[in-house]
Amino acid sequence: MYFANPWGLLGLLALPVIVVIHLYHRRYPPLLVAGLHLWGIETHTTTPGRTRERLPITPSLICELLAALVMSLLLADPRWGDVGKVVHLVVVLDNSASMYSRPPGLEEKSFRDAAVEELDRRAKRLPRGSVVTLLRTARRPEMLAGPAVPWDEAKPKLDDWRPALPKHDFQPTWDLASQLAAETGELLFLTDVVPDEKVAVPKMMEVVSVGRELENVSISAARWDFNSQTTKGRVFLRLTNHGKRAANVRVAGSVGERTIFQETITLASGVASPLEVEVPGGLGRLSITTENIGDGLPLDNRVELIEPKIRTLHVALTLPKESPAMKAVQRAMRGIPDVSMTNVESAELVIAAAQTLPPSRRELAWLGIGPLDPSEEARKAAQDLGGPYILEKQNPLLDGLTLSGVIWGGVQPLKLDVAPIVTAGQQPLLSRLNGTRTTAYLLNLDFAKSNLADSPDWPILLSNLIELRRDNLPGLRRWNYRLNEEIRFRLLEDTPATTTENESTDTRPLLLVHRGQKRPLARAPIVEVPPLDEADVYTILDGERPIGEFAVNFFDSDESTLTGLRPGRRDPAAEAASSGFQIDQPLTWMILVGIVLILLAAFADWHVLRPVGRRA
């Protein structure tokens, strides 16, 4: 017990004062006699002053002492135990996909459900009036309930906790939880495996793991390619057995109720096996599922794939018909699919002679092939270079290029403002033109003097250029992604048929639609969709016009490995300075009881000291 107002105990000084008064003040009770003449003068004694005698224990004394004692205690505001103290419990919920794992058996609960039960037990043991804050882990911490709300208000929010994230860092959420708990709250982390001792967890955080070792087989990768020439597609899968026992896995692909393919594969422990299946075109969307007895995690047993769309690139060739450059380009383009030859006005990529620079158009890509100066004198003065070549490897145009054994012939001095991509010494060989809105590249060589066209690097370079330009076509670049993967696309160009008089591009909303929920996206020439943390199919709308739909799937071998999960507990390394915090409570019931006691004592004192009536 302690006193919230210790100065109130000074009222106890009234107790000795009351005792002194009763010690020196004597009240003679009245005595009825027949007549005063019967009393002689010798029986009449006088007391010249007050004398101290034995303290009489009277009802009046007891009532007055009791009233003074109760009044002093009320002024001191006594507190017992945790009366007036509430706890702030800050809970961090592991939002990893493995928390949705479920041990085999009809009566078994998922780790997520076990964590909710553990939290419910903890919350019910808290002192009355305590509050709770719920956080779930993510790349950016997410507050599920709170801050500092009653458990009855926080508990329904747990219905929105559906752990499905790939492996991620818990530290940002731990840091936020530590700030919320400060030095007056309790910190709890609910997960499926206790972090290693080397992991720096907050000192005041208690860790409780509800996980168990489980077997699991996952779809660890999936891709859908479509061949516009054969009008057929191919689905590529990789299945991985993350368990310690061999597994027989049934794989099925379906569209609605229609089964497209079905396979059974035997996977040894720790083995990943590829699966390639041909599917007809025009399916639009394909659901692929796996079934395996004793599988622990259902989230990685299903993927949704959207059929790729044909994105034809329109290319114009303006090179001289019989030139070595024209023959080299035509030969390399034979193996590149979905390319249509057109005129310059409607082309998205123009491959031309380098003598004439391109117009400045944002939607145009251009490749100029030398010689830069076609005169006979300039061609004779050109250099033939055999390396070494310096390549800007971060440029996607050079993906897969080595230039091993390539003779770069017919190199001429370059006086334009360019950004070099391939150089030999100080001489730019492949570069990008500056000062123009066109994505323009210069190839400083003469195919009549170079063996580049005969090397494997030439079709790779031209294919990279075409795919780079194809990626910048309006609409989605791809239709199937993994969680937290970057999604970028170019907006469709507006035409009179798509824009009304009362509607403009600036006022039309750009929306990401998922399960009826709409999220606005920032409108820009290149739109970037924020990383998504839920596997499903999404649709993008430009106003009322659909741009396309894409699928996001869960692929994470680390999170799908459940053999390392264990139940356990780690106590906090340091206790909080205060396990709770105080709130002001009026303690009305105590004051009421005290007032009643004081009134009873006063009434009893009055009853004892009231004048005695004359007897009959």
Is 600 a domain residue? yes
Is the CB of residue 216 less than 8 Å from the CB of residue 240? no
Is 547 a domain residue? no
> What mean pLDDT comes out for the span 519-531?
89
* Dist CA 441 CA 434 (whole Å): 9
CA 524 to each of CA 191, 478, 491, 497, 509: distance values in angstroms, whole numbers, following the listed order: 40, 18, 8, 21, 12
* Dist CA 228 CA 220 (whole Å): 27
3-state percent breakdown (helix, strand, coil) of the chain, nearest 5? 25, 30, 45
Tokens of 184: 């007056």
- Residues 192, 330, single domain; the answer is no
For residue 580, the 8-state DSSP code is: S
pLDDT band at 524 (very low <50, low <70, confident <90, very high): confident
Q: What is the pLDDT of residue 174?
A: 94
Is 318 a domain residue? yes
* Dist CA 551 CA 308 (whole Å): 11
Is the CB of residue 260 less than 8 Å from the CB of residue 308? no
Domain boundary among 471, 504, 525: 471
> What mean pLDDT comes out for the span 573-595?
57
- Residues 431, 418, single domain; the answer is yes
Tokens of 69: 């004692």
- Residues 175, 201, single domain; the answer is yes
> What mean pLDDT comes out for the span 510-535?
90
- Residues 178, 33, single domain; the answer is no
Encode pLDDT of 17-64 as tens digits: 787 777 766 555 666 766 666 666 555 555 544 555 667 777 877 888
Tokens of 35: 């007549």
308 backbone φψ class: left, alpha, beta (φ>0; ψ -120 to 50): beta
pLDDT exceeds 90 at position 232? yes
The owner of tokens 């994230």 is: 165
16 backbone φψ class: left, alpha, beta (φ>0; ψ -120 to 50): alpha
Residue 346: which CATH number? Answer: 3.40.50.880
Containing structural domain, residue 12: 2-82+588-609
Q: Which residues contact 418 (CB under 8 A, 6 or more apart)?
A: 428, 431, 432, 433, 434, 442
Q: What is the pLDDT of residue 616?
A: 40
Scored b (16 or more CB within 10 A) or e, 204-240 reads: bbbbbbbbbebbbbbbbbbebebeeeeeebebebbbb
Q: Between 380 and 588, name the one with better pLDDT.
A: 380
Which of the residue ranges 33-37, 67-71, 172-176 would you say has the lowest mean pLDDT?
Answer: 33-37
Domain boundary among 471, 494, 518: 471
pLDDT exceeds 70 at position 580? no
- Residues 105, 94, single domain; the answer is yes
* Dist CA 310 CA 312 (whole Å): 6
- The DSSP secondary structure of 540-556, one letter per residue, reads EEETTEEEEEEEEE---
* Dist CA 264 CA 247 (whole Å): 10
**CA dihedral sign of residues 243, 247, 250, 251:** positive
- The DSSP secondary structure of 185-213, one letter per residue, reads EEEEEEESSPPPTTS---TTEEEEEE---
Q: What is the pLDDT of residue 579?
A: 46
* Dist CA 110 CA 534 (whole Å): 19
> What mean pLDDT comes out for the span 151-175?
93
Is 433 a domain residue? yes
- Residues 99, 57, single domain; the answer is no
- Residues 423, 347, single domain; the answer is yes
Is the CB of residue 358 less than 8 Å from the CB of residue 368? yes
Residue 111: which CATH number? Answer: 3.40.50.410
Count CA within 13 A, CB hemisphere, residue 570: 23
pLDDT exceeds 70 at position 200? yes
Q: What is the pLDDT of residue 9?
A: 79
What distance separates the 2 farthest-apart alpha carbons in the chain?
A: 167
Encode pLDDT of 398-433 as tens digits: 999 999 999 999 999 988 999 999 999 889 999 999
3-class DSSP state for residue 153? Answer: helix
Q: What is the pLDDT of residue 69?
A: 83
CA 493 to each of CA 163, 265, 473, 519: distance values in angstroms, whole numbers, following the listed order: 39, 47, 10, 22
CB-CB neighbours of 29 under 10 Å: 5
Q: What is the pLDDT of residue 531?
A: 83
- Residues 52, 89, single domain; the answer is no
- Residues 193, 94, single domain; the answer is yes
pLDDT exceeds 50 at position 330? yes
Is the CB of residue 446 less than 8 Å from the CB of residue 372? no
Taking the alpha carbons at both ends of the chain, their separation in whole angstroms is 55
Is 117 a domain residue? yes
Is 268 a domain residue? no
For helices 14-24 and 59-76, angle between their N-to-C axes, nearest 10 degrees: 170
Burial class (CB in 10 A: 0-12, 13-18, 19+), 65: middle
Q: Which residues contact 139 (CB under 8 A, 6 or more apart)?
A: 168, 169, 172, 484, 531, 533
Encode pLDDT of 474-484 as tens digits: 999 999 999 98
- Residues 452, 347, single domain; the answer is yes
Q: What is the pLDDT of residue 229?
A: 86
Q: What is the pLDDT of residue 583?
A: 46
The owner of tokens 């061999």 is: 246
Q: What is the pLDDT of residue 582?
A: 46
Tally of domains within the chain = 3
Q: What is the pLDDT of residue 496?
A: 44
Encode pLDDT of 288-308 as tens digits: 999 999 899 999 999 999 999
Average pLDDT, the chain: 86
- Residues 388, 455, single domain; the answer is yes
pLDDT exceeds 80 at position 283? yes
Which of the residue ranges 58-62, 102-106, 200-204, 611-615 would you say has the lowest mean pLDDT?
Answer: 611-615
- Residues 377, 334, single domain; the answer is yes
Count CA within 13 A, CB hemisphere, residue 616: 0
Domain boundary among 471, 500, 519: 471
> What mean pLDDT comes out for the span 330-335?
91
Q: What is the pLDDT of residue 581?
A: 46
Q: What is the pLDDT of residue 121?
A: 93
Q: What is the pLDDT of residue 595?
A: 74
Q: What is the pLDDT of residue 7?
A: 74
Is 246 a domain residue? no
Burial class (CB in 10 A: 0-12, 13-18, 19+), 526: exposed
Encode pLDDT of 103-161 as tens digits: 988 678 999 999 999 999 999 988 888 899 999 999 889 999 989 999 999 999 999 99
Strands 536-542, 142-149: pairing is unpaired
For residue 340, the 8-state DSSP code is: E
Q: What is the pLDDT of residue 58?
A: 78
Is the CB of residue 296 less than 8 Å from the CB of residue 102? yes
Is 255 a domain residue? no
